[in-house]
Chains A and B, each alone.
Chain A
Amino acid sequence: MSKTKWNIILRVSRQKDGEQPHFDEFNLEVDPDEYVLDAVERVWAFMDRTVCFRHACHHSTCGACGMLVNGVEKLTCITYIRDVTQNGAKLTVQPLRNFPVISDLAVDMGSLYSRLEIVGARSVLPVPEAEVEKPASSWPKEDQQYIRLADCIECGLCISACPSAATSGEYLGPAVLAGLQANALKYKSLPFNLADSQDGVWRCHSAFECTEVCPSFVDPARRIMNLRSQIIRERLSGLFRKA
């Protein structure tokens, strides 16, 4: 933290049952080295108890506090105020896109969780399998015994930023396809068919927005591209199997 204090205007998107979204503005004194979530939490603690938002871990492991910050998807618990506004300026927070709003900044991510369940995305996995850039075979054997929480924190930022998810509510979406990729695909199994469908990898338009906004090093775009090549390889070898 620094000794400097900034005065900012926090613009919070408000939307209660049946209302049209609108903004409420709050004048706040902040430390520029605080996080955006700290500012939102202080509005709730001291200024307006009806502001609704999700948050839990405050260090990027739970994925609850995703919001649009000045129009861009951010995990607000690790987004420094210094990086998104300046002294005397405004700072705008809105709910994530492509999910129904529960209230104000809180959205219903049921569609994401249900698809993650369907594809069997793992929440814990052996350490070598959790890494995308380092092949599991290059790890020492003893490291196979270690289990760790997956990189994906199921925050929904990638779904919010994805132009394909915006045009089709049926699209599985980046986080779900990334979860599929982390599991080995079996030809003609249920997850394989889901991935190899119009709402699977072929819906992706390669905008790479998902990887751009992912706060947790999942790199969904790269995983989707990898899934496509796996599927094409399987399809081709499937042709030869038939012959």
Chain B
Amino acid sequence: MSKPHAIIIGAGFTGTATAHDLALRGFDVTVVERGDICNGTSGRTHGLLHCGGRYAVKDQESAIECIDENMILRKIVPSVIEPNGGLFIALNDKDMLYRESFIQGCESCHIPLEELTPEQALRLEPNINPKVLTAFLIPDGTFDPLRLALSFAATAKKNGAKFRTYTEVKGLLVDGKGTVVGVKATERRTNQPVEIRADVVVNATGAWAGEITEMAGAKVPIKPTPGVMVAYEGRFVQRAVNRLDKPGDGDIVLPQRRMVVVGTTSFEIEDLDYVPVLEDHVELMLERGAELIPAIRTAKVRGKYMATRPLIGSGEGRSAARTFKCYDHKETDNVDGLVTITGGKATTLRAMAEKTADIVCGKFGMNVPCSTKELPLISYRQYYLLP
């Protein structure tokens, strides 16, 4: 029997990671992407390799996913990661009230942590707010968003996956029984329509997932939720610095090359294809970022930008769980041939792909184990070099 053909719509984090996993499990894979790799949410990710500390109190499922995947990514793709760890710092009495539940949360999610005195913290990171009351050392990191996705894409390509970029899906091909059997798309390079047939279509379009499922008359409970980030010139810290409190706006500052990036906010929108960077959110990033690292107040802005998170479910903004979900639309909407993966976070991209590939394999009665936890990825540059 020839290999089943899977089309993956979207070449962001989930699309490239799923291409990698499905190629290893014996699928012919074609990734269809309307722009170039990572042109949507994934490319504009803050870049925090989460250790799970942020979610350890209220969203432990996400926290455990984060710490486990953090450790895996450090091993399989070190060439795109600044692995220097992170700090959670308390600056006032309210932050100190969060201390106990933070320790308990991290312990129950097996997130290693070490409490430092203010003097120790300032010795490690002299540019954090000198009013620091306590600090926890945790295994955060920073990653390069585009090159993280490219590493997965390159390895997928090496294993036979094909990438058709600048190809915008306009509709789904459906057979007489209502089963999805491929995609209708427009090649942006030539402005020509094209049809691609497949045995299964994986919708890995993140915040845009609802637009694809709508084409099949299926539904996913996605709430696109943008946030604003601001990059400043100056590598003031070597570690990601988080506010010791429940997740809020502008409470993470991370180093990246010669910059620090402050993020993020949370709001809702109508039009997904272009979201403006709101000026009051930029000002808030300065205020909140400077509380953690005072030097940000006088630093030069390098770039102001936004990304749209794909949040799942009914929770509002910050209260929504950050875990991911994979839907077989045969089960949820009686539409066969279509699987949607969405939600989640950049840090959990590999786990999202594993779950998706498990479900896709199940649909074909294939019992092939996942091998992406151990397998080192090849150089991201190979994406551009392999045929």
> Which residues of A does B touch, CB under 8 Å?
1, 16-17, 34-35, 38, 41-42, 44-46, 49-52, 54-64, 77-78, 102-103, 106, 108-110, 113-114, 116-117, 123-124, 127, 143, 146-151, 153-154, 216-217
Contacts and interface: CB of A to CB of B under 8 A. Distances in A.
Contacts of B282: 1
A46 to B, nearest CB: 7
A148 B82 contact: yes
B15 to A, nearest CB: 14
A34 B304 CA distance: 9
A106 B36 contact: yes
A55 B39 contact: yes
Given A17-B189, A50-B188, A59-B302, 4 more contacts: A57-B146, A61-B146, A62-B38, A147-B83
Contact of B305 (A51, A63, A77, A124): A77
Contacts of B145: 56-57, 61-62
Choose among A17, A35, A61 the residue with the greatest number of B CB atoms under 10 Å from its CB.
A61
Given A49-B188, A50-B191, A102-B189, A58 B43 contact: yes
B231 interface: yes
B119 to A, nearest CB: 16
A217 B305 CA distance: 21
B238 A127 contact: yes
Contacts of A45: 271, 273-274
A78 B277 CA distance: 13
Contacts, number: 152
Given A56-B44, A78-B302, A124 B79 contact: yes
A153 B273 CA distance: 26
A151 B273 contact: no
Interface string B361-387: 000000000000000000111101100
Interface residues of B, number: 55
B385 A110 contact: yes
Contacts of A50: 186, 188, 191
Given A58-B43, A124-B79, A148-B82, A113 B381 contact: yes
A58 B303 contact: yes
Given A41-B274, A109-B384, A61 B39 contact: no
A61 B256 contact: yes
Contacts of A109: 384
Of all A-B residue pairs in the complex, the 5 with the closest CB atoms, nearest first, are A56-B43, A59-B303, A58-B305, A45-B274, A62-B146
Contacts of A124: 78-82
A217 B300 CA distance: 15
Contacts of B189: 16-17, 52, 102-103
Contacts of B43: 55-58, 62, 64
B10 interface: no
Contacts of B238: 127, 143, 146, 148
